[in-house]
Amino acid sequence: MDQAEWFAVDWGTTHLRVWVFGPDERLLTCLTSDKGMSKLKPHDFEPVLLDLVASYLGQGVCPVIVCGMVGARQGWAEAPYLSVPSLPPTGETGLRVTPTDARIDLHILPGLSQKKPADVMRGEETQIAGYLARDPNFFGTLCLPGTHTKWVQVSAKEIVSFRTFMTGELFSLISGHSVLRHGIGAGGWSEPDFLEAVDDAMTSPQQVTSRLFGLRAEGLINNLSAEATRARLSGYLIGLELAGAKPYWLGQDLVVIGAPDLSALYARALAVQGLPSRVQSGDDMTLDGLKAAYHALKEARG
């Protein structure tokens, strides 16, 4: 088996991914585990990582660059936030952790914080770094949709400011635990219903909570389908977010970074508002960000 030159690690709340790189930046494999941060105690992290990568370790010391919730207070070790405005974190600005196994040299990338309005991110900053590694002269806004969607202003290679919207989490809570759960299907979609709901929420955001209960009434009285209900719920919540994030996207060069289906959904909602956007894979940007952090650390060490 080939020996690793270094490991790139994305350790989130629910999952772990490790990209194994050999000589000459050759990707040997990608390893995955369902042992995310939420399932582990601080003393569990090193054994879990070693279970995955031990067969790729040799006699030397192998750098490990880690991003994600592993650096949270409840993770392996807390990597302090960098305050914005800030350049994206690199390996040399990360927290160096001393494992018990001397064959790995571990660096946890810090998240970013903002004092006013108070906000934090941990993990998305690596995707931002990955995008800026590809387009270092970018000036505009990055949208990173997910459970907690981030809208990020970028200028002169720095992250200037950002805002977080709990749209994804609200969708999960409402569709799974509210009265609307009785009328929402697990799949299916209605694009006209989605786009109409986006426009409705942006035009009258103060009516959204009433519109949400209306979905239940429409199902009982007018037989609104489960697919249409799901699409409208998504449209109302994303439209409400777009109304709140308007100062970030109006008239800006905009790139959406995330899972393909969700990013495409945001891009379509924005297109209806007359704003074109470019979509990039969140996984690709995460890996590019980890690569940039590793190369910065390697260069700093000479």
Ranges of each domain in the chain: 6-122, 164-281
DSSP string of the chain, one letter each residue? -PPPSEEEEEE-SS-EEEEEE-GGG-EEEEEEES--GGG--GGGHHHHHHHHHGGG--SS-EEEEEESGGGSTTSSS--PPEESSBPPP-GGGSEEE--SSTTEEEEEPP-EEETTTTEEESSHHHHHHHHHHH-TT--EEEEE-SSSEEEEEEETTEEEEEEEE-HHHHHHHHHHHSGGGGG--SS---HHHHHHHHHHHHH-GGGHHHHHHHHHHHHHHH---HHHHHHHHHHHHHHHHHHHTHHHHTTS-EEEEE-HHHHHHHHHHHHHTT---EEEEHHHHHHHHHHHHHHHHHHHT-
- Is the pLDDT at 93 greater than 90? The verdict is no
Is 6-122's fold the same as 164-281's? Answer: yes
What is the pLDDT, as a whole number, of residue 113? 97
- Is the pLDDT at 168 greater than 90? The verdict is yes
> pLDDT tens, 227-258?
999 999 999 999 999 999 999 999 999 999 99
What's the CATH code, domain 164-281? 3.30.420.310
What is the pLDDT, as a whole number, of residue 213? 97
Question: Using 50, 70 and 90 to split pLDDT, how confident is the model at 152?
Answer: very high
Average pLDDT estimate for 192-217: 97
What is the pLDDT, as a whole number, of residue 1? 65
> pLDDT tens, 28-44?
999 999 999 999 999 99
pTM: predicted TM-score of the whole model, two decimal places: 0.95
What percentage of the chain has pLDDT greater than the value 90?
92
What is the pLDDT, as a whole number, of residue 91? 82
What's the CATH code, domain 6-122? 3.30.420.300
What is the pLDDT, as a whole number, of residue 2? 86
